[in-house]
Amino acid sequence: MRERINTALRAAQDASDKRRCATLRLIQTAVKDRENAAREHGKDGVNEDEVVDILRKMLRQRDASAEEFESGGQLDLAEQERIEQAIIREFLPEQLSEAEVRSACESTVKEIDAHGLRDIGRCMSELKSRYPGKMDFVQASCVMKDMLRNAGNENTGGEPGDEASN
């Protein structure tokens, strides 16, 4: 991925695309900073998953900034943040759609035989191992909780608070 970023930076420099150059340099700097911090803690640097995490964090930062600019009426600055987001997204793996996330959650629940909210950790761990970097795990967690909450209600024979008559 680092090579893709370097190649994109060279192409942006050749095209004199200042916005793209600046954004790609920010990405490189963030990765180098994380590598330096990792080396200080005795690690060899950062792997591809950590680079993806850095890019996702950069996306969230730009999303928050764009919303602030929009609410403050600074639409030109909000647009710049959205452009930077698009550049950063180019280097992230393609994300699963909402329907694909739901399907992956359903199959995981069935495969590991999850029955309620107590199984959420096992389910999420399995999803993270199967779909690293390809899924919004916050979204998946919400979907999974809804599924497992419903599964737990079915196993108890109805809604919470319902009493079985003997």
Structural domain range at position 6: 2-89
Contact by Cβ (8 Å): 122, 114: yes
Tens-place pLDDT, residues 85-99? 999 999 888 888 889
Residue 154 confidence (pLDDT): 60
* Residue 41 φ/ψ, nearest 5 degrees: -100, 15
* Residue 109 φ/ψ, nearest 5 degrees: -60, -45
DSSP tag of 117: G
Same domain, 78 and 106: no
Q: Structure tokens of 30?
A: 């963030």
Total count of domains within the chain:
2
Tens-place pLDDT, residues 49-99? 788 888 989 998 999 999 999 999 999 999 999 999 999 999 888 888 889
Residue 19 confidence (pLDDT): 92
pLDDT-above-90 percentage for the chain: 38
Same domain, 135 and 117: yes
Distance CA 6, CA 67 (A): 29
Q: Which residues of 121-144 are buried (b: 16+ CB within 10 A; e: fewer)?
A: eebbebbeeebebbbeeeebeebb
- Over residues 11-27, mean pLDDT: 94
- Over residues 103-117, mean pLDDT: 88
